Amino acid sequence: MRAQSQSKMAVPMITRRLRTIKLSVHTLQISYSAATSAPMARTRTRLEVSKARKGTLALIGCGKMGFAMGINFLKAGYPLMVYDKYNNENTRRLEAEGASIVKDIRILGSQAQIIVTMLPNDEVLEIVSQDIVPTLSPGALHISCSTVAPSTSRALASVHAAKAVGYVGAPVFARPEGVEEKQAFFVMGGTDVRAMKAAKPVLLATGSDVFEFSRRDAGAGNVVKLCGNFLIASAIESIGEALALAENQGLNRVKVMSMLSDTIFDCLIYKG
């Protein structure tokens, strides 16, 4: 009876969570359909890949993920400038490793040809872009590794193209320790082939692979990132429900999960 009661109590909670997931997917579908229903213009910039590869790189956003990326950029030999409005501790740690701290974000454009942003949300990315785009020279490159809406990347790609600046949406699948070990996977979309080619060696300096999904849609990588996050959330939900069932039936949930994650679910998401 107790197990039945707990199962009944869990049903409304599961329903609410699934409804939230469905709404997120519906919003994503609308955003993606609107973007792909009309032909997308092919933008071109004057990127010179051979010169940009080891040119001065600016990193904006030095949280846990950004810090790990910054360390890898330095190890790869990039002259690195760093900016973070709030995380002074991590910028100082990067400075100790050889980076230069920039106090005014608006001067980055005049000193760096490659900008990498690792920011917490759409609003911050949009604000930062408003600050840096007017200062960037034609042929510069902005690589956004933030998890943002596909529509945000598409809009920013147009803003950058108007200044002959390349924009690539390349969100990342990894935890900070994974980035540190160069085990990150980047999913990339853009509208400028040369910008995407220039972005790849930069991303490989801090990751294990780069997957290109579109040369006509700067938000394509963000779509893949949302798909991955949906699957991760679904896995977490299903693990919780499965282990609740095991525990309600008198089994040791740690032992059950250990067996499952070592056999038929032997992958990072299920291993935690």
From the list 124, 138, 150, the residue with the least C-alpha distance to 36 is 150
Q: What would the DSSP string read from start to end of 163-183?
A: TT-EEEE--EE--HHHHHTT-
pLDDT for position 54: 64
Helix axes 220-248, 150-161, angle to 10 degrees: 160
Output the tens digit of pLDDT for each of the chain's 272 residues. Answer: 444 444 444 434 434 444 444 444 444 443 433 333 333 333 333 443 333 346 899 999 999 999 999 999 999 999 999 999 998 899 999 999 999 999 999 888 889 999 999 999 999 999 999 999 999 999 999 999 999 999 999 999 999 999 999 999 999 999 999 999 999 999 999 999 999 999 999 999 999 999 999 999 999 999 999 999 999 999 999 999 999 999 999 999 999 999 999 999 998 889 87
φ and ψ at 82, to 5 degrees?
-125, 145
pLDDT for position 44: 35
Query: Under CATH, what is the fold of the domain 49-219?
Result: Rossmann fold (3.40.50)
In terms of DSSP bridges, do strands 172-173 and 185-190 run parallel, antiparallel, or are they unpaired? antiparallel
Which position has the token pair 């999904």?
213
From the list 224, 227, 254, 250, the residue with the least C-alpha distance to 239 is 254
Which position has the token pair 């955003």?
31
Q: What is the CA radius of gyration of the chain?
A: 21
User: In this structure, how many other beta carbons lie within 10 angstroms of the beta carbon of residue 103?
Assistant: 8
Which position has the token pair 């250990």?
258
pLDDT for position 87: 83
pLDDT for position 109: 85
CB 73 within 8 A of CB 223: no
pLDDT for position 21: 43
φ and ψ at 41, to 5 degrees?
-70, 140
Please report, for the chain, the start and end positions of each structural domain, with discontinuous segments joined by +: 49-219
pLDDT for position 272: 74
Task: Give the global pTM.
Answer: 0.80
